Chain A
């Protein structure tokens, strides 16, 4: 039994301490926007924010979260940078199948949080952990730049 702060709300989760945050979010809290892709931190589909930093939730057990603040795709739009990124995503129709895009958005928001005007190498470094099988990379790069430029 662990109590976590998720999107500003406390959630008490009746799961073993070794349960990855990904499965706690999906199967206990019912937040299915965070996706399962690989289970070994290779694809980034499960990316969430822990105290504002992008983290692969398939590798973080709920017993190790402590009282850190978890933010998921369901709430990231309530932050100014989250809203900016989501708007930029929609404006140039980044998504295709969309399954990886929760993770892409979370990684992109974390990038802009610490680097407001990223160059191509910043984008490469921050986003290389997020696989998109549909190959939307050209538009992801453009959307991040558009978001950075927007007010």
Chain B
């Protein structure tokens, strides 16, 4: 099975060509009907229509192709969304091939946002019922086609593994491949019945990933693997300071067979292969005019963020009277700080673009397919319909590829190049030209009753706004909802609770969405403060949380379970500790206990995570485990090592030697339990990232008595401290 056609055969990827392939294959079913997705939870005012024609094609030999609207970047969405379609359509999973859907919002936009985009742990939450409906509609049409042929009532027929079966007539059968041409001409059921839970064969089962084999044998194709006839390669260097321009270029040493492309803020060298282009770029002597931002450094950025965080913010949520609650009881004030972070996906940014007179064709991986097209169209001064975009699997997204800056830069360079050109970021360029996770400062206060009940809670979040940077528009009323996510739910049921936000832009850095998004900050702040409050109240951190979780029963159950699984409170060696974190984020409840050892030199070793995850209904439980395993490590990498710093307006970290990523010898063991549930599906790509770091700092406090209120962990504070 091929997941992604090779670039030379990229024609198979576009909708136009899907139709062509279907026709060429002799009339395979291309379902063409509209299904009101009543179950999609779309706003009533904007009825959402899914067009299954866009999703399912059945060839005469019974092979099924699914156009998957969400992008595969490791989270397993090609597989899980295929499970939804295949189960309801009733086809064998080994007959299924997922392909990336072309960029058409009207066909593939999310039922929630009406736009294509893979982020915010939304894929299963948005498509769980709509894609099941699409599959069920297709099945009903195939059954009707068989009923027409046999002249029987369709209600007497059943389906199994790609066949319609007539038990009343000796079990005669027609295959989906045979039925497809006639089924395609039938009217579509408008409200097909989806399967009862007991009849599900794939949904809720840990089937193997559809991309597992190709990704293990080197045949999986990413954007960087695109190869086109006559394609050239580009190495680029963009202004190391945000807003800066080229000052002067000395190109005397540039080899004659290379092309120099000079744009306002970008220098690129084009060559027949990437190494030649890189060498050419290095042969240049470039001076940059950094402008105002080149005066900025980390000390200044943090000074401004801290000052801003002490001002009054805009209210995001309020229960009761936080000020009155805080005045009552023993008060605790704390500020928690989170650093800027880089995404560092393993596949460096790249895009392949061919610009000819008035049209553009491009190849690459984007989390925002139609966003990439729109951005390229704007940069080239053409309309989006002049752009053909072949989307590819991504070697890591993590939010980085929600942005289209790499598309725009590649298109601008391609405009100056004759023929297709693959623009590849060096690792250094990828690290220093990122859209960084914002730094945050959380100013928090809480008060405790004599019995250890939280009376009041106040949380002010200060940080830069990604939505402002992406949209170019100021905030409405000063509130960035994206930055308060994970702080609004008041899972601990505090009577007097208030959350504020205040915008603080770093200017020297562009900000972007980073896996786990705002809950990375807010869960860290909340769960750190909860631990500090427990200790102030003289209570066990798990018992203290449980006592406050009556209004959040699923989190309470998951916390009780994880405490039992991890043998919470067990005796630990000196300078070892357990720490806990309980969170509700992206519709999913996760509780985690970390076991941590702090060396006398201050080095922190996370030995184990025990987690219980309640993500509601699951599609592929093993994918949930995998996403949590990976998310915990992603978050732990940040907690232990992640810190982007700025000097003279330039990012100082450049590659994996100074922007450290956790390695296998440092990775914790994981013990993950997925709760069985019939609740609405929750997200899982993002929330694992925020689940680990609070449990680590809480475990460090248990091991050493040292409370860390900022990340990454400060080894100097932990060195030579005595264990408690």
Contact = CB atoms under 8 A, between A and B. Distances in A.
Given A96-B76, A134-B396, A138-B667, A73 B346 contact: no
Nearest to B668: A138
B274 A133 contact: no
Contacts of B233: 27
A98 B213 contact: no
Nearest to A127: B664
Given A42-B656, A98-B74, A133-B634, A139 B276 contact: no
A135 interface: yes
A51 interface: no
Given A32-B227, A39-B426, A123-B664, A96 B74 contact: yes
A94 B279 CA distance: 36
Given A97-B394, A133-B346, A139 B275 contact: no
Contact of B218 (A34, A90, A131, A138): A34
Contact of A42 (B274, B396, B626, B657): B657
Interface string B648-690: 0000000111000111110101100000000000000000000
A94 to B, nearest CB: 7
Given A19-B275, A133-B661, A95 B667 contact: no
A30 interface: yes
A81 B622 CA distance: 26
A91 B199 CA distance: 26
A60 interface: no
A129 B661 CA distance: 11
Contacts of B211: 95, 98
A43 B214 CA distance: 21
Contacts of A20: 275
B32 interface: no
B208 to A, nearest CB: 6
Contact of A131 (B215, B394, B397, B663): B663
Contacts of A6: none
Contacts of B276: 15-16, 19
Contacts of A101: 215-216
Contacts, number: 180
Given A35-B395, A73-B218, A105-B216, A23 B274 contact: yes
A73 B214 CA distance: 11
B217 A42 contact: no
B216 A89 contact: yes
Contact of A38 (B214, B396, B629, B656): B656
A39 B657 CA distance: 11
Given A32-B225, A90-B208, A97-B396, A139 B626 contact: yes
Contacts of B657: 40, 42
A131 B346 contact: yes
Contacts of A28: 273
A39 B216 contact: no
B396 A135 contact: no
Nearest to A103: B346
A74 interface: yes
A10 B641 CA distance: 44
B581 interface: no
A33 B74 contact: no
Contact of B216 (A38, A90, A132, A134): A90
Contact of B427 (A18, A38, A100): A38
A133 B345 contact: yes
A98 B73 CA distance: 8
Given A38-B656, A136-B630, A97 B73 contact: yes
Interface string A88-113: 01100111111111100100000000
Nearest to B656: A42
A52 interface: no
A45 B214 CA distance: 16
Contacts of B669: 138
B562 interface: no
Contacts of A95: 74, 209, 211-212, 215-216
Given A34-B218, A98-B215, A136-B629, A131 B667 contact: no
B424 to A, nearest CB: 7
Nearest to B689: A135
Contact of A36 (B272, B348, B637): B348
A53 interface: no
Nearest to B634: A135
Contacts of B348: 36-37
Contacts of A90: 208, 212-213, 216
A40 B655 contact: yes
Contact of A37 (B219, B272, B273, B427): B427
Contact of B273 (A19, A42, A97): A19
A23 B677 CA distance: 49
B29 interface: no
B665 A124 contact: yes
Given A32-B227, A95-B209, A124-B664, A135 B273 contact: no
A38 B488 CA distance: 39
A100 B221 CA distance: 13
Contact of B424 (A33, A36, A38, A40): A36
> What 5 A-B pairs are tightest by C-beta distance, nearest first?
A33-B218, A99-B395, A98-B215, A135-B633, A97-B74
13 contacts: A15-B273, A27-B273, A32-B218, A32-B225, A35-B346, A36-B274, A86-B213, A95-B211, A96-B76, A97-B74, A132-B346, A134-B74, A135-B633
Given A89-B216, A105-B216, A133-B661, 15 more contacts: A23-B275, A27-B275, A36-B348, A39-B427, A95-B212, A97-B346, A97-B397, A98-B216, A123-B664, A127-B663, A132-B346, A132-B664, A134-B634, A137-B667, A139-B626
Interface of B: 73-76, 208-209, 211-222, 224-225, 227, 233, 272-276, 279, 344-348, 393-398, 424, 426-427, 622, 626, 629-634, 637, 655-657, 661-665, 667, 669-670
Interface of A: 15-16, 18-20, 23, 26-28, 30-40, 42-43, 45, 72-74, 77, 86, 89-90, 93-102, 105, 123-125, 127-141
